[in-house]
Structure 1
Amino acid sequence: LQAILNRLEVRYRMLADNDPRLAVEWEDRCYLRNRFVRVESGDGVVEGVCRGIDKEGALLIDTHSGLHRLVNGVVLGIE
């Protein structure tokens, strides 16, 4: 438990300091990258291929109408 808390503290400090390495680590761990996803957000359901996460933490979804940047929502499906 102590090791987990120590790692959380390091990440929290990175977040508080706007450390750009945190965004890189987050993007590297994006499970949805290059997968077809359906995401329900405040604007309805967005379907397309996830292209990753931007520097501000938004999920990037490539759809037939262009690239959508989602800052909140629920992933309904993954293919």
Structure 2
Amino acid sequence: MISLPAIFAAWETLVTLVIIAWTVLRKFNGSLFEIALPEPPMAQLLFRTMICGVWAIGLLYLVLSVITTIRSRA
């Protein structure tokens, strides 16, 4: 089984990469590189998907940490 610190580190890395990518896209939107943000409905869908993914991973981390704590005390 994957250790809980490894799950948390992966979650933290994922969130950091998403924030960096979104910031870069917003900075260069319509600039020399012709990087354009998605249309507003698509941007909202991507944002909601990212938030749901972060919440799901966080909830999974919480559940696994509770199970591990219960097992270690038994």
| TM interval, short-chain normalised | under 0.3
Greater C-alpha Rg: 2
Higher strand share: 1
In the superposition, the TM-score normalised over structure 2's length comes to 0.28
In the superposition, the TM-score normalised over structure 1's length comes to 0.26
Higher helix share: 2
